[in-house]
Amino acid sequence: MPSVSAAQHAIDPVKLEKLAEVAVNIGLRLERGQDLVMTAPIAALPLVRLITKHAYAVGAGLVTTLYSDEETTLARYQYAPDESFDRATDWLYEGMAKAFAGNAARLAISGDNPMMLAAQDPAKVARANKATSIAYKPALEKISNFDINWNIVSYPNPAWAREVFPDDPEQVAIEKLANAIFAASRVDVADPIAAWTEHNANLAKRSSWLNGERFSALHYTGPGTDLTIGLADRHEWHGGASTAKNGITCNPNIPTEEVFTTPHALRAEGYVSSTKPLSHQGTLIDNIRVRFEGGRIVEAKAGKGEEVLNKVLDTDEGARRLGEVALVPHSSPISASGILFYNTLFDENASCHIALGQCYSKCFLDGASLSQEQIAAQGGNSSLIHIDWMIGSDKVDIDGLREDGSKVPVMRKGEWA
């Protein structure tokens, strides 16, 4: 693995600075005095430093960063006693939940090696993931309920670059991945802030049209797919910038090309096939094929990673039900790049997708004022997980179904109709 300085040499410093500025001023829109909790792979230290600088420049209170490292993660799987895989650092996540309850913002830098755990025991991976999900739930609820402003951006970790561009020398691979991240994140232009303002306006128009239609369900047809997804009662579509319960309007995902809402946990019927691989916690799951009855996955197959998929589905009762449905045109810039990122943040913005598990409470009319019981009564799903996977392509059509049974074309061959 190259040194940090060697990796930095392949990354445009001007664009990296712009990414940090966008993360703070568009992604988070930090307020003066607001604390920031950041997580990042240790390889992303150059971006962490820039984000920290920009956060303090706009008046952040305290910036605290928690780092992860591939080699120390793998050391656990190689040397830790078996019983350790049923434990997680609950004290740490309790601290994060306390910070979020105190209105700290959340920023995650993604960029881990997508195949980091591919050679490890799937049972141990599943146990560790479940333990972490349970421990993290108090903090995750603050994010999934949109109590605070939060954001995810990415850094071209050398290990990630090697997976995306395996046939290139490492420095070339890092440079290619960095440029792809910058383009998708709209920081390769003269004025990224203006570019994001225009993009958010376009996504808002799509959301507004869908909210005006008030579809009761969406019907997907395509190769290996004939699926009807009922939408939650009083659902609301969102896309781009959204306002958190703390009153701050932020862009949670950079990049983003989606408009999304909450499906009804009991109203998915039919079958669907994935159109891109899912990289989940260091394992690649490919050629996913599932069948729904009464909103629940009753059959699940995968060409690769099937054992991990089924263990994910057994996390809890809500893991086999849907928590999000998102629409993305096949012609999105990320799709047009032709790059498979092996990173859900990017790959989900190349394709229409669905998510297993926890729903977003903000995707309801008056969602900020609803209790968990009210959300469940309107069809919102609850789970320890929230995992997006891609089901859209240029061969998939989507119709909106109205209460009276009439159909409205929403997408044809992967494009807005």
Residue 52: predicted pLDDT: 98
Residue 199 lies in a domain: no
Give the residue from 188, 158, 182, 157 showing the smallest Cα distance to 170: 158
Residue 6: predicted pLDDT: 56
- Number of domains making up the chain: 2
First CA to last CA distance, the chain: 46
Q: State how far the Cα of 229 lies from the Cα of 122, in Å rounded to an integer.
A: 30
The half-sphere exposure of 180 on its side-chain side, counting CA atoms within 13 A, is 26
Residue after which a domain boundary falls, among 184, 203, 235: 184
Q: State how far the Cα of 395 lies from the Cα of 412, in Å rounded to an integer.
A: 8
On whether both 121 and 218 belong to a single domain, the answer is no
Residue 3: predicted pLDDT: 46
> Can you give the residue range of the structural domain that contains 88?
4-184
Residue 361: predicted pLDDT: 86
Residue 333, sorted as left (phi over 0), alpha (psi -120 to 50) or beta, turns out to be: alpha
* Cα–Cα separations (whole angstroms), residue 291 to 203, 280, 296, 299, 301: 31, 20, 8, 5, 9
Tell me which residue has tokens 């369900």.
Answer: 217
Average pLDDT per block of 10 residues along the chain, 417 residues long: 61 97 97 98 96 98 97 96 96 97 98 90 90 92 92 96 96 96 96 96 96 97 98 96 94 96 98 92 88 98 93 94 97 92 90 94 89 95 93 97 95 95
Residue 380 lies in a domain: yes
- The predicted model scores a pTM of 0.87
Q: State how far the Cα of 26 lies from the Cα of 254, in Å rounded to an integer.
A: 9
On whether both 176 and 263 belong to a single domain, the answer is no
Residue 9: predicted pLDDT: 82
Residue after which a domain boundary falls, among 184, 203, 230: 184
* Cα–Cα separations (whole angstroms), residue 146 to 135, 176, 242, 255: 19, 34, 9, 18
Residue 2: predicted pLDDT: 45
On whether both 105 and 66 belong to a single domain, the answer is yes
Is residue 325 within 8 A of residue 260, CB to CB? The reply is yes
- Cis upstream peptide for 156 (omega within 30°): no
**Angle, helix 122-144 to helix 306-313, in steps of 10 degrees:** 50
On whether both 272 and 333 belong to a single domain, the answer is yes
